[in-house]
């Protein structure tokens, strides 16, 4: 493993740091592979309850780098398909993670980098950050992120972002709900830490996992299918140790720290 992606755990928060600042943390097949590998490490780490994805350098992630784009022109269809599936798997493991995933964005998050930032459960950004799905401006398509952006926004807002390729500032991104929190650069690390710690201490890890699983599944169901699925998950939740512990603490008026 190289040092392109760093990982450390502090107080049950796992920090994944993109560490390719000289390339503005631009994505390549190898870089995506390493992010995916480190993410799976964090996912399996019992000492980690919440995952934060952040970056070193002036950009969160500037999309694909120029050398990588040049290489893609000479790829066969099979090679391009394998590359696309590699990125889609990264987004999928983040979206379906049983742990809450937070992106901390300080600087540009463009194309695939914008997808990486916004596929997370929560996105914190500084005022100097920018976001944009710029693929249509170079004859490409924001194919993979589209799957997640339509779920997040619906078709109308997704069209506005994906068809124009417009780069928007953090204020605009916050106003339309693309990001969750807009925080001064001097305080964002502490804000993310406090938010993650609140999740660690005040919420059940089992409940978080089940809620995320349900949010991913229920959108594909009819009303009756969704209600039946919800009833089953509700019944399953009642059997978990976390639920038993939580109800006992509530009934006994005990302060509970997870």
Give the number of other CB atoms < 10 A from CB of residue 167. 17
What are the φ and ψ backbone dihedral angles of 114, each rounded to 5 degrees?
Answer: -70, -40
Beta bridge pairs of residue 100? 50
Q: Which residues are catalytic?
A: 135
Judge whether 145 and 91 are in contact, CB under 8 Å.
yes
Closest CA to 199 of 51, 15, 95, 27: 51
- Cross-strand pairs, 169: 130
- Rounded Cα gap, residues 170 and 127, in angstroms: 5
Cα–Cα distance measured from residue 40 to residue 226, given in angstroms and rounded to the nearest whole number: 29
Q: What are phi and psi of 256, to 5 degrees?
A: -110, 130
Give the residue from 175, 246, 169, 159 showing the smallest Cα distance to 210.
246
| Strand boundaries in the chain, DSSP class E | 5-10, 13-18, 50-55, 100-105, 108-110, 122-125, 130-132, 168-169, 181-182
How many CB atoms lie under 10 A from the CB of residue 223? 7
Whether residue 106 contacts residue 187, with contact meaning beta carbons closer than 8 Å, is answered with no
C-alpha dihedral (129, 142, 32, 77), degrees to nearest 10: -160
């Amino acid at each position: 493993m190289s040092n392109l992606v760093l990982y450390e755990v502090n107080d049950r928060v796992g920090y994944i740091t993109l560490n390719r600042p000289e390339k503005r943390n631009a994505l390549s097949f190898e870089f995506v592979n390493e992010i995916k590998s480190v993410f799976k490490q964090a996912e399996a780490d019992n000492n980690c309850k919440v995952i934060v994805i952040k970056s070193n350098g002036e950009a969160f992630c500037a999309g694909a780098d120029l050398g990588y784009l040049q290489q893609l022109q000479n790829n066969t269809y099979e090679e391009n398909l394998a590359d696309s599936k590699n990125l889609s798997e990264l987004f999928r493991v983040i979206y379906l993670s049983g742990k809450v995933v937070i992106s901390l964005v300080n600087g540009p998050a463009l194309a695939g980098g914008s997808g990486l930032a916004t596929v997370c459960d929560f996105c914190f950004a500084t005022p100097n950050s920018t976001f944009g799905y710029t693929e249509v401006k170079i004859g490409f398509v924001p194919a993979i992120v589209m799957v997640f952006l339509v779920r997040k926004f619906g078709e109308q807002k997704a069209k506005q972002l994906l068809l124009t390729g417009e780069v928007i500032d953090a204020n605009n991104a916050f106003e339309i709900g693309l990001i969750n929190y807009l925080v001064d650069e001097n305080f964002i690390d502490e804000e993310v830490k406090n938010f993650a710690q609140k999740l660690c201490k005040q919420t059940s890890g089992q409940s978080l996992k089940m809620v995320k699983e349900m949010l991913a599944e229920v959108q594909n169901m009819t009303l009756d299918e969704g209600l039946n699925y919800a009833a089953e998950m509700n019944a399953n939740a009642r059997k978990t140790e976390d639920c038993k512990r939580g109800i006992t603490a509530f009934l006994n008026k005990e302060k509970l720290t997870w």
